[in-house]
Amino acid sequence: MKILIYAFLDDTIAGFYENEQHTAGLLTWATAFSIIISCLGLLGLVIYTTNLRSKEIGIRKVLGASVAQIISVLSKDFIQLVLIAFVIAVPISWWASYKWLEDFAYKTPMSWWVFLLSGLVMILVALVTLSMQTIKAAIANPVDSLRDNQIKIIYKACFLTVITVFCMLISFSSRAQEVLTLREALDQALSNNLQVKQAQMQASLSEEDVKQARMNFFPTLNAGVDGNLRWGKSFDQLTGSLINQSTNSLNGNVNASASVFQGFARTNQVSANKYLLLADQSNIEKIKSDLTLSVVTTYLEALTNQDLLAAGEQQLALSRSQLEVEQINYDVGNKTLADLSQARSLVAADELNVTSAQNAYDLSVLNLKQLMEMNPSIPVELETPALPEVSLSANPYTAAELFAQIRETYPEIKQAEYNSLAAKTNIAIAKSGYYPELSLRGSAGTGYSSAQQSSDFNQQLSDNLNEYIGFSLSIPIFNNFRTKIAVSKAKISYENALLNERQAENNLNKIINQAVLDLRSAEKSYNSTRQAFEATKEAFEVLRQRYEVGLANSIELSTSQRI
């Protein structure tokens, strides 16, 4: 018994061109959307150009240009662009059509008038799009365009004037001198300093490294889709045959892989990244500590220079008053020219000292502003903090006690310790290369090909489904001693980290001992200076009284004044 399968001839012929009909439908929609988008872009460009050349259009109309001439001037540049696009598109479209028609036994000839007609239609569409704006601009009243242009210029000038006045007001208000306290200087420096921000960014990167190391424990899953359009002779993967026709194909797949064992490398990597994160966080505290010390030192240095400037100005005022007295005595004949010249030289020397003190103060304030990331042009006035009464008793702290207390929280030492722990963990990571690696993988995929005429799209996806699962075991036998060398390098890095940790401890110990010695020396110097000041003050008062009654000369007074 035979089964009779029949079909109409027109249905069979129509089936041969089913793919081409689908492709033609897609190209029709794509062409329509491309024309609409091109027209919108061309219209926007014309609107922008006519608005930009509105003054030129008005002047041309005033000078006697007709509407047709203005439309020609505005449309000429755009028509040139359309013609250039046509010249580029014609050979490309001819080549694509020729390659497409090669697969047909009976094909229509490609006539030149088809391309010419398409170019004329393209120019016609462009002219229609251009006319929507060029005719409107050409028939507009030139007086309105010129007046609008003048109004725009006036508005722009007024806007610039307002902005200028506003900026001047802001500049004048910013010139007001602000009082800067030590706490405000510290807060502004810690919040604005670039080194602190860079250290915080580095800590954020280390935190992301920790997240990435944890994510490495999870499997990976990827999916992919690819489609192809082929013509001519090719090998179809789905049918397994060599074909010579136009075909469409679509393939999709899903891949998954998971690492089961890597010699504990991932676990140790998480630990190492955590230690590096803690080291970066300690580095932030170290930079903040160093910045705080720099700000306090610079602030106190600026206050010292401010006091020296005030003392220099007082000394200059005293020298000028003394010069006035010497001038009066010289005028009445009580003093010689040598005494007057001596007084003048003292005034000049004091003026030079005031200039040097002013420069030193300005430089210290500039250094403070740079630490604060503050605009150097903003004037500030430093507030003198309330200092506690200086105790001249013996210092109860020793360098060893201070080192034992500070070492546990000193940021530089904590950073070195965390770097040492990270380097130690890197040794375990390098040793993981001695262990075998085990991983699992799997994949599933399917595909569709128009060359397989016996089944439809859904049936092909079901028939072409392929799946697999597998594992991979890698056992290291000989890899040119790369693992051994990596372990040796990790051990050397660990020893170097320990040396850096020891160096940080030595630096801290040196700083503490030097600070203790400087404190003792400063206490002794302060006590001696205060006693010398009291004695010098009493001697100066006695000599000044003798000078007023004529028992001492100006040289003796000036010498006592500068001790």
Q: Is residue 394 part of a domain?
A: yes
pLDDT per residue rounded down to tens, the chain (563 residues): 344 444 555 666 666 566 667 677 777 777 777 777 877 777 777 777 777 777 677 666 666 677 777 777 777 777 777 788 778 877 887 787 777 777 666 667 777 777 778 778 877 877 777 676 677 766 766 655 545 554 444 444 344 444 544 444 444 444 445 688 888 888 888 888 888 889 999 999 999 999 998 998 889 999 988 887 877 677 666 666 777 777 778 888 999 999 888 888 889 999 999 999 999 999 998 888 888 888 988 998 999 899 889 888 888 888 888 788 778 878 877 778 887 888 888 888 889 999 999 999 999 999 998 888 888 888 888 888 776 665 555 556 678 888 888 888 888 888 899 999 999 999 999 998 889 989 999 999 988 877 777 777 788 888 888 888 999 888 888 888 888 999 999 999 999 999 998 998 898 888 888 888 888 887 788 788 778 777 777 777 777 777 666 666 655 555 555 55
Same domain, 509 and 383: no
Q: Could you list the residue range(s) of the whole structural domain that residue 465 is in?
A: 179-387+436-475
Same domain, 346 and 219: yes
Q: Is residue 53 part of a domain?
A: yes
d(CA 379, CA 368): 12
- Please report, as a single letter, which amino acid is at residue 23: T
Q: Is residue 2 part of a domain?
A: no
Same domain, 289 and 414: no
Same domain, 206 and 343: yes
Residue 175 confidence (pLDDT)? 43
For residues 445 and 466, the answer to whether their CB atoms sit within 8 Å is yes
Residue 12 confidence (pLDDT)? 61
Q: Is residue 159 part of a domain?
A: no
pTM over 0.75: no
Q: Is residue 157 part of a domain?
A: no
Q: Is residue 164 part of a domain?
A: no
Same domain, 457 and 544: no
Same domain, 96 and 221: no
Residue 236 confidence (pLDDT)? 67
Burial track 342-368 (b if 16+ CB lie within 10 A, e otherwise): bbeebbeebeebbeebbebbeebbebb
Same domain, 207 and 354: yes
Same domain, 416 and 559: yes
Q: Residue 352, SS3?
A: helix
Residue 391 confidence (pLDDT)? 59
Same domain, 316 and 454: yes
Residue 71 confidence (pLDDT)? 74
Phi-psi region of 240 (alpha: psi -120 to 50; beta: other; left: phi over 0): left
Q: Is residue 165 part of a domain?
A: no
Q: DSSP alpha helices (H): ranges in 247-390? A: 265-332, 337-372
Same domain, 26 and 103: yes
Give 424-438 as a DSSP string: HHHHHHHHGGGS-EE
Same domain, 407 and 278: no
d(CA 24, CA 308): 91
Same domain, 191 and 268: yes
CATH value at residue 321: 1.20.1600.10
CA atoms within 13 A on the CB side of 318: 15
Residue 485 confidence (pLDDT)? 92
Q: Is residue 171 part of a domain?
A: no
Question: Domain tally for the chain?
Answer: 3
Give the phi and the psi of residue 179 in degrees, each rounded to 5. -90, 125
